[in-house]
Every structure is written in structure tokens, then in C-alpha cells.
Amino acid sequence: MVNILKQNQSGISVADLCREYAMSQATFYKWRSKYGDTDFVSMVKRLKELESENAQFKRMYAESELKLQITKDALAKKF
């Protein structure tokens, strides 16, 4: 999608792109209206940051659950 929009910005006609990628012009214009003004580099960078942050939160949650389970097991053995 990004490549197709960039090709159009470089001067390749919509009709040629749609024929090359076997898609309708309506699809192309829908993509362009939705993503045409978007800076894809910043979007990808932000997505990677969010994925990294999400992975960190998952690790924190897993460690917390493990500590909780160890505590529960230790308390169960005492009684």
C-alpha cells in the first residue's frame, strides 16, 4: 500500500497502478484518502515503540503473576 501510494506521488498514473496491482481505482482512492497525508515512517516508528512497550508490560505482568503464585504456594505449605 505504501509503495503504491509513493509510486503515484512520483508520477505514475492511478490507472497504471491499478492495472499493475490488480486493484480497483476505488480502493486506491480510499487508501489515498485514508493514508495519503500520513507520514509512514513516523507511524512505523511509533508502532515499533508501542510493540516494545507492550512486550515490556507483558514481561512485568508475567513476573508479577509468578511472584504471586510463589507466595501462594509458600503460604499454602505453612498451613
DSSP for 41-67? HHHHHHHHHHHHHHHHHHHHHHHHHHH
Same domain, 20 and 46: no
Same domain, 22 and 49: no
C-alpha 36/C-alpha 28 separation (Å) is 10
Same domain, 25 and 3: yes
Report whether pLDDT(78) > 80. no
Same domain, 43 and 60: yes
Rounded-to-5 percentages of helix, strand, coil across the chain: 85, 0, 15
Report whether pLDDT(79) > 80. no
The 10s digit of each residue's pLDDT in 22-42 is 999 999 999 888 877 767 777
Average pLDDT over the chain, rounded to an integer: 90
Amino acid 42 reads S
Overall domain count for the chain: 2
Which structural domain range is residue 70 located in? Answer: 39-79
C-alpha 52/C-alpha 58 separation (Å) is 10
